[in-house]
């Protein structure tokens, strides 16, 4: 790879416009992009978003940051966030995110990135910035998980507590109840109120 291309772009993750600007002196920049992709010097994550081959990267890539960039606006949530915080014991390989746009998934050379659509009135609450990426707080990630599960036919707080402890094997000791109550007001769903009651019940045991 030409050294000036790597220096001109300057970062490991870049979009189509940045790439075209870096190749503006070529007679046919699109042909050059095709050659770079074919040689593996650059890798396409989705249409218009690229990374350099590992040999040309200046630092290790964060899949969490990439998840925010592939499709947005979005923030990491659901199973991946619960695993990230240690709330559930399983390691989750698919990076799961909440998004304002329609539900979709991207299978990339860096793994699978899944996006689930949330209503606008609940999307913006309970989101933190951690190490330069947007991620749900523990309470919001748990609420998103419960809200999105359409097969969750739970009608009592005791049933929800059993789901949390036996089903998810979730450690809810660090879930903020006051924050969860606020999230429940935004969701206006019975099962999120049951989630709040179940977490309180588990904490009181």
pTM over cut 0.85: yes
What's the count of helices (H) and strands (E) in the chain, helices before strands?
10, 9
Mean pLDDT within 150-172 = 94
What digits encode the pLDDT tens for the residues 105-125?
999 999 999 999 999 999 999
How confident is the prediction for the chain on average, in pLDDT?
95
Residue 4 is encoded by which pair of tokens?
A: 């000036």
What pLDDT, on the 0 to 100 scale, is given for residue 74? 98
Residue 62's contacts (CB-CB under 8 Å, 6 or more residues apart) are 131, 132, 133
Domain coordinates in residue numbering, the chain:
3-56, 63-204
Average pLDDT of the residues in 52-74: 94
pLDDT band at 32 (very low <50, low <70, confident <90, very high): very high
Residue 205: per-residue pLDDT: 82
Whether residue 82 contacts residue 142, with contact meaning beta carbons closer than 8 Å, is answered with yes
Q: What is the pLDDT of residue 153?
A: 87
pLDDT beyond 80 at 1? no
Residue 60: CB atoms within 10 Å? 7
């Amino acid at each position: 790879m030409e050294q000036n291309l790597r220096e001109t772009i300057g970062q490991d993750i870049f979009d189509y416009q940045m790439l075209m600007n870096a190749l503006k002196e070529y007679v046919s920049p699109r042909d050059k992009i095709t050659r770079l992709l074919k040689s593996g010097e650059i890798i396409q994550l989705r249409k218009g978003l690229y990374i350099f081959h590992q040999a040309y990267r200046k630092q290790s890539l964060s899949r969490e940051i990439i998840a925010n960039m592939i499709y947005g606006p979005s923030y990491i949530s659901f199973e991946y966030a619960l695993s990230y915080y240690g709330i559930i014991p399983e390691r989750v390989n698919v990076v799961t995110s909440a998004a304002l746009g329609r539900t979709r998934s991207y299978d990339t050379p860096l793994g699978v990135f899944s996006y689930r659509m949330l209503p606008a009135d609940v999307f913006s609450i309970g989101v933190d910035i951690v190490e330069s990426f947007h991620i749900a707080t523990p309470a919001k990630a748990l609420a998103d998980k419960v809200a999105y599960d359409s097969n969750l036919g739970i009608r009592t707080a005791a049933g929800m507590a059993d789901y949390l402890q036996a089903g998810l094997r979730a450690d809810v000791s660090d879930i903020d109840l006051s924050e969860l109550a606020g999230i429940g007001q935004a969701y206006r769903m019975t099962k999120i109120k049951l989630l709040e009651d179940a977490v309180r019940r588990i904490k009181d045991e």
